[in-house]
Chain A
Amino acid sequence: MKITKDEVAYVAHLARLSFGEAEIETFTSQLNDILLYMEKLSAVDTAGIPPMTHAIVRKNAFRDDTVQASLSADAALANAPDRRGDFFRVPRVIE
């Protein structure tokens, strides 16, 4: 076993997902298959190879720090599931 049911449940919490018992079973079995397949990567000699993060090497893309046009508050809030005035409304977080 590469990954247990408990680990799957813990990773689900980290990913902010919730699953029923049957889904946990399915994911555990499928993730095990996938992780087992990936096992062979450990056989590749990568000593001294720097990890590759970008396909095309570019330095940081900066621009001048000047004010530019941006979305209006109304446009930015137009898709909000819940809104009060110029704010996104969420369930209470402070008691």
Chain B
Amino acid sequence: MELYERTIHELQRLLRDGETTAVEICRSVFARIEAVEPRVHAYIALMREPAMAAAAAADEAIRRGDPPPLAGIPIALKDIYCTKGFPTTCGSRILQNFVPPYDAAVVEKLRAAGAVFTGKTNMDEFAMGSSTENSAFGVTRNPWDLDRIPGGSSGGSAAAVAADLCIASLGSDTGGSIRQPASLCGVVGMKPTYGRVSRFGLIAFASSLDQIGPFTKDVEDCAILMNAIAGYDPRESTSVPEEVPDYRGFLGRGIEGWTVGIPREYFVAGIDPEVLACVRGAIRVVESLGARCVDVSLPHTEHCLSVYYIIAPAEASSNLARYDGVKYGYRAEGAADLLEMYKKSRSEGFGPEVKRRIMLGTYALSSGYYDAYYKKASQVRALVRNDFDEVFRSCDALLTPTTPTPAFRIGEKTADPLQMYLSDICTISANMAGIPGISVPCGYSSEGLPIGVQFLAGHFAEGKLLQIAAAFEKGANIPRRKPKL
């Protein structure tokens, strides 16, 4: 087995036992990148030189006998986190030459934990999209079938883990942008509770929904990264001062006696039969582990997509007003006055999907339409949250498909935005309610494409999510396949 194929916990053991070095691991991952990245295009930019230096520093710390927890572990970052002195584009032409003057909180934390950053991964522009086709820097391909999309918006981060172009990665999830690509690429992806991970230095899309989380090769690695990134940050005013447990402590506990809700609204028309069969198989696994699966209802589910595509674009239209060609980012040449400079810079700098969402959001917030759209959506959002509060009174967790279909073909949905939006149908409700969710591989389609199962739990119950995800992973015992590249 090559070093690049390993998990974080396997590499930690090899490093501890002196069987390998951080520099060897780093070389292995970059050799893999050299061989495979041209076909996958998971990265916008690689960090080879700083990575080698960080790996050498990790080896030094290991020799001294005081290595930090993630010493020498190669991790990829979605290009949405500010990295001090290294370009951060958010997949947009408007930020093509932006070099942040500071690190995002999660970047700081991982740096301090000794992680080795491999590069910045590709994404839909400003995280708006479900396929990574909206990047200004080319499409990322699904490692399991290069003609298919990896999901989005964190498609590069998911594909990089699936193709062994890093050991783990970070993404961001506003409506499913971690869980959906994790499912389509056959890796583990978690969206923590709103407020659990600091978003300081995360480029904002929809501030009441955005959350940062990990992509990993297994559930144990997910717990390891959650230990590294969770926690209160006074610089981020929505960060919550709630104690962070040791997430690894939840692994291996089992789910005997648990009640797991199966929300019937997620098992309706439009779900691919193979996905349905795989998820039904997952229900049987959970039952075989001693949990009771019960039918539950989340009656406002059918409205989630509408609510999301009002609230997220509304917040985005406000957040993206800062891109005006004055302080940083792209400025168009030759504008006669300030107004024209704004319009030209933004029109030349943003891609079509970002413009569509800014338009939708501006319309929903504009005078005369605010009550009908934004206010109405915010009220229905409260009903969605109430639905979850109600079921979590009797359920430890919920089990649903992560995505309605396996990965679709590149170009298949680009002409019809509404069809593209529907691929988030199973994931957006968690962002509405602010609850945590995780996608875990649960099987493969007849064409060999990965399928994921989603577990949801109440606010700050990431530990329980990792507990059921780990129990499921072990109980299902799905053979660890790798894409043929």
Contacts and interface: CB of A to CB of B under 8 A. Distances in A.
Interface of A: 3, 7-8, 11-12, 14-19, 27, 30-31, 33-35, 37-38, 40-42, 44, 46, 49-56, 58, 60-61, 63, 71, 75-76, 78-82, 88, 90-93
B381 interface: yes
For the residues of A in contact with B, the DSSP-based class is: loop
Nearest to B317: A15
B20 interface: no
B238 A54 contact: yes
B377 A41 contact: yes
Given A14-B366, A40-B306, A91-B337, A58 B240 contact: yes
Interface stretch (B111-119, B222-230, B254-262, B354-362): B354-362
Contacts of A15: 317, 346, 358-359, 362
A41 B306 contact: yes
A81 B349 CA distance: 13
Contact of B240 (A38, A41, A56, A75): A56
Contacts of A30: 356, 417
A16 B102 contact: no
For the residues of B in contact with A, the DSSP-based class is: helix
B239 to A, nearest CB: 8
A91 B306 contact: no
Contacts of A80: 326-328
Contacts of A7: 363
A81 B329 contact: yes
A12 to B, nearest CB: 7
B303 interface: yes
B101 A52 contact: no
Contacts of B303: 40-41, 44
B356 A18 contact: no
10 contacts: A16-B342, A17-B355, A17-B358, A18-B343, A33-B417, A41-B310, A79-B327, A79-B329, A91-B340, A91-B341
B458 to A, nearest CB: 12
B300 interface: yes
A14 to B, nearest CB: 5
A52 B381 contact: yes
Contacts of A78: 99, 101
Interface stretch (B138-146, B158-166, B368-376): B368-376
A71 B379 contact: no
Given A41-B376, A52-B381, A16 B240 contact: no
Nearest to B361: A15
Contact of A11 (B209, B362, B435): B362
B335 interface: yes
Contacts of A11: 359, 362-363, 366
Contact of A51 (B97, B329, B360, B379): B379
B360 A31 contact: yes
B383 A16 contact: no
B332 to A, nearest CB: 9
A13 B228 CA distance: 44
Contacts of B317: 15
B208 interface: yes
Contacts of A35: 363
Given A44-B383, A81-B329, A16 B375 contact: no
A63 B379 contact: no
Contact of A34 (B101, B195, B309): B309
B341 A90 contact: yes
Given A46-B379, A71-B102, A88 B327 contact: yes
A49 B347 contact: no
Contact of A27 (B234, B302, B359, B379): B359
B247 interface: no
B338 A42 contact: no
A86 to B, nearest CB: 13
B306 A88 contact: no
A38 B379 contact: no
B57 interface: no
A54 B326 CA distance: 31
Contacts of A58: 195, 237-238, 240
A38 B373 contact: yes
Given A7-B363, A81-B325, A91-B336, 4 more contacts: A17-B355, A34-B417, A51-B375, A60-B237
Given A11-B362, A44-B383, A52-B381, A38 B331 contact: no
B417 A16 contact: no
Contact of B347 (A18, A33, A42, A91): A18
Contacts of A54: 194, 208, 238, 434
B383 A49 contact: yes
A58 B347 CA distance: 37
Contacts of A40: 302-303, 306
Contacts of A61: 234, 237-239
A76 B326 CA distance: 12
B385 A8 contact: no
B392 interface: no
Given A17-B358, A18-B343, A49 B382 contact: yes
B306 A38 contact: yes
Contact of B343 (A17, A37, A56, A60): A17
A42 to B, nearest CB: 7
A46 B383 contact: yes
B478 interface: no
